[in-house]
Amino acid sequence: MSMNNFTFNTTSGIRFGSGMSKICVEEISKKLGPNILFITDKGLMSLNLTEPTLNELSKYSSTVEVFQDVEADPSIKTLYSSIEAGKKINATGVIGFGGGSSMDVAKLTSLILGSNENIEEAWGVSNAKGPRLPLVLIPTTAGTGSEVTPISIITVGEEEKKGVSSSIILPDIAILDPDLTIGLPAPTTAATGIDAMVHAIEGYTSANKNNNPISKMLAIEALKLLSSSIEKAVFDGSNIEARGNMLIGAMLAGKSFANSPVAAVHALAYPIGGTFHVSHGLSNSLVLPYVLRFNSVDSKTTKNYAELAPFVFPDINIEKGNQAVCKEFIDRLENLSQKIGLPQKLREVNIPKEACKKMASDAMKQTRLLVNNPREVTENDALNIYEAAW
């Protein structure tokens, strides 16, 4: 293959294993200093998932302030409240414990507390100045891969989301503890699992000029782990091996798309989540087959999808030629999402058909994602995709 120049950044330390969120506490507190801001959500607090880590932390750190007000699609107001909580204790380090939302808030809280910069100037790609405070991320879902991505997404208006993308907000350590995902309900396991698969598929086929052999390799390994474990994790939630595979798969997919960014599936998912408060993973899942079919008109993309097919569905007959393999790949992804119990159509999540027009217009604002799509998407294309998914 011809080699382009590329850059590859990732989280410097990863710790994986059952009980790791408790085992690593001494290392965490050394890294984060005496005053720790612990960012999570009320749901995880009420499930007592945070308790073992917090109890252990109290042995090593003089102050552990818990900020538990993170909501799904966190707002700018929540981010400001979290920063205030950190200032009050003169935080020396930050932990993000939870799904993508808690980790996203933790990334930007550590940035603003560490640099005192204006968040309005940090939005976008490579605009954050830093430094940030020491940062540890502990995911409790296997989906976003946020623990290894340089991206944080915050809801800034009624429906608009903005992002900071900068290697400065990659954490010092990511801790992957499959025990924390055991209690995850089947629908959440399914939606976050498909989200991780989308990260790998879009990372592999990204038109971004930084698409590179490392991202491609990670995407393949992610898809092998995710596709072979997702059904087990959904239908037998206490299967620790499946849970571990999902966590590692989501992390590898995160590393892939952090360096070879995602595209139109995500661009079209954002208006579904922003306007109708459908979870990010489910929003991706709803448009996935329709965006892939749209993209597969391009022969290079057909070839890419056909290359991925046997890693996701090992029994697929690759002798049939790229076109047929690509078609079967997309059909089978759609069947997988149905099999694990996810809604298949926009109308099933109470989105009216007339909303397709506004969502198509909103999707066009996601230029940082659309530029990575292997095929150009016009507003009319987006409308056709939403109507097909309705």
Domain map of the chain by residue range? Answer: 13-180, 185-389
Q: How far is CA 241 from the centre of its chain?
A: 21
Instruction: Let me know: does 270 contact 373? Beta carbons within 8 Å.
Output: no
Q: In what order do the strands lie in the sheet with 151-155?
A: 124-125, 161-165, 151-155
Q: In what order do the strands lie in the sheet with 173-176?
A: 13-16, 173-176, 135-139, 93-98, 35-39, 63-67
Instruction: Give the integer Cα–Cα distance in Å for 69 and 295.
Output: 39
Q: Residue with structure tokens 């206490």?
A: 238
Q: Residue type at 308?
A: L
| Helix residue spans in 277-312 (DSSP H) | 280-295, 299-312
pLDDT tens track for 174-218: 999 999 999 899 999 999 999 999 999 999 999 999 999 999 999
Of the candidates 390, 195, 388, 190, the one whose C-alpha atom is nearest the C-alpha of residue 293 is: 388
pLDDT tens track for 130-180: 999 999 999 999 999 999 999 999 998 877 788 999 999 999 999 999 999
Q: For position 28, what pLDDT does the model report?
A: 96
Other CB atoms within 10 Å distance of the CB of residue 175: 27
In percent, how much of the chain has pLDDT > 70?
99
Of the candidates 219, 125, 106, the one whose C-alpha atom is nearest the C-alpha of residue 172 is: 106
Instruction: Let me know: does 130 contact 112? Beta carbons within 8 Å.
Output: no
Instruction: Give the integer Cα–Cα distance in Å for 260 and 269.
Output: 18
CATH class of this structure's domain 185-389: mainly alpha
Instruction: Give the integer Cα–Cα distance in Å for 238 and 320.
Output: 38
Tell me what the mean pLDDT of segment 107-125 comes to: 97
Of the candidates 282, 268, 249, 262, the one whose C-alpha atom is nearest the C-alpha of residue 350 is: 282
Q: Would you state the CATH architecture of domain 13-180?
A: 3-Layer(aba) Sandwich (3.40)
Instruction: Let me know: does 270 contact 366? Beta carbons within 8 Å.
Output: yes
pLDDT tens track for 46-82: 999 999 999 999 999 889 999 999 998 899 999 999 9
